[in-house]
Structure formats: C-alpha cells, structure tokens
C-alpha cells in the first residue's frame, strides 16, 4: 500500500481524535506521526511517505491552524509531491463558524494538490451543514470534518466510515 505518515495540528485535541483512530486502523508507528508543533522541522520529512494523512482544525476566518502556515508556504515554493496520495481531516464548528466550516481542509487540499499530490477521501457535501466552506471542492467535501461542538454523536461513526473508505481507496 505504501508508507503512511500523519502530519497534524490540533490546539485542543479534537483533530487528534481522528489522528488516534488513523494510527490504530492503519497500525502507524509513532515515529510516523508528526505533531506539527513539536515534531515538524522541514519539508524533507514528507519525503519518507507515499501516503499522507494531513490534519488541521480551522481558525480565524477559515484559516489552518497556525502551525501549518509556514510549512504550506514552503511546500508551495519547494515541494514536488507527484506520486503521493493525500487525505485531509480536521475539526470545526458549523454553528459558530458556518461561514467557513472546516475551510482549513480546502486550503491544505489546494497546497498539496498544487505540487502534484493526489487527493483521496472526499465525502458527499450533504453530510455537512454550512453556509460556505473552502473544503467544498467540485461539489464534494475534500476530506473528513468533525464537529465536536454541535455533532459529537456523529464523530465516531464519521471516523469509522471514512477509514473504511480510505482503506478501499488505498486498495488495502
């Protein structure tokens, strides 16, 4: 299937709920789990992986977690991720921030696909409620969003279903 690396940022641990489920489902070694705040040094770390699981909650007005800001610039300037597959996940709040629900996923999607990565793990946009989201790409939601503020009961089934979808898309 190829080597998987998880790169994620999470302020309060909500996005980490997905990270932990991915680690268990894909049996990912802790060395291959990069918490952006502590473990990320430079873009060469992405070279080790064929498959990237990329996580961020959404902040400000549809921004990624700030730990992603510099790496995204570096990626757009320097990286070539041709041949890599990438799936996006993250937490948001559709009631307080429905004008940019989980938009970080869309920003990350644009950065990674701009440098050649192939995005997987899209979901039907009908599974979410929002006014606007940069995560909506070509009529679909470009990854797994979770909303622990308003739809906590949906988190576990959403994660479980998405992981099954990823396994199918990755041919496991």
Ligand X SMILES: Cc1cc2nc3c(=O)[nH]c(=O)nc-3n(C[C@H](O)[C@H](O)[C@H](O)COP(=O)(O)O)c2cc1C
Contacts of residue 148, defined as CB under 8 A and 6 or more positions apart, other chains included, come to 14, 17, 91, 155
Residue nearest to ligand X (CB): 92
109 is a contact residue toward ligand X (CB under 6 A): no
93 is a contact residue toward ligand X (CB under 6 A): yes
Tell me the C-alpha to C-alpha distance, in Å, between residue 65 and each of 68, 77, 91, 157, 171.
6, 19, 10, 25, 31
Binding ligand X (rule: CB under 6 A), the pick from 97, 107, 109, 158 is: 97
Binding ligand X (rule: CB under 6 A), the pick from 40, 81, 88, 101 is: 101
Region near ligand X per CB under 6 A, out of 35-43, 56-64, 66-74, 155-163: 56-64
The token pair that represents 77 in the structure block:
């300037």
Region near ligand X per CB under 6 A, out of 32-40, 76-84, 95-103, 119-127: 95-103
The DSSP 8-state label assigned to residue 11 in this structure reads S
Which single residue is written with the structure tokens 């998987």?
Answer: 4
The smaller minimum CB distance to ligand X, of residues 58 and 111, is found at: 58
Helix, strand, coil shares, percent, the chain, to 5 = 40, 20, 35
Minimum Å gap between C-beta 56 and ligand X is 8
10 is a contact residue toward ligand X (CB under 6 A): yes
| CA-based radius of gyration for the chain | 14
Residues interacting with ligand X, by CB under 6 A? 10-15, 57-62, 91-93, 97, 100-103, 148
């Amino acid at each position: 299937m190829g080597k998987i690396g998880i790169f994620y940022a999470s302020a309060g641990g909500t996005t980490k709920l997905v990270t932990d489920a991915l680690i268990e489902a894909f049996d990912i070694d802790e060395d291959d789990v990069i918490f952006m705040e502590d473990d990320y040094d430079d873009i060469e770390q992405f070279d080790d992986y064929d498959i990237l699981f990329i996580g961020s909650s959404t902040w400000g007005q549809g921004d990624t977690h700030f730990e992603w800001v510099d790496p995204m610039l570096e990626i757009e300037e320097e990286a070539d991720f041709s041949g890599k597959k990438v799936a996006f996940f993250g937490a948001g709040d559709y009631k307080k921030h429905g004008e940019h629900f989980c938009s970080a996923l869309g920003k990350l999607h644009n950065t990674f696909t701009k440098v050649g990565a192939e995005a997987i793990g899209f979901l039907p946009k009908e599974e979410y409620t929002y006014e606007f989201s940069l995560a909506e790409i070509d009529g679909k939601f470009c990854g797994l969003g979770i909303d622990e503020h308003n739809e906590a009961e949906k988190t576990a089934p959403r994660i479980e279903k998405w992981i099954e979808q990823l396994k199918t898309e990755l041919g496991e």
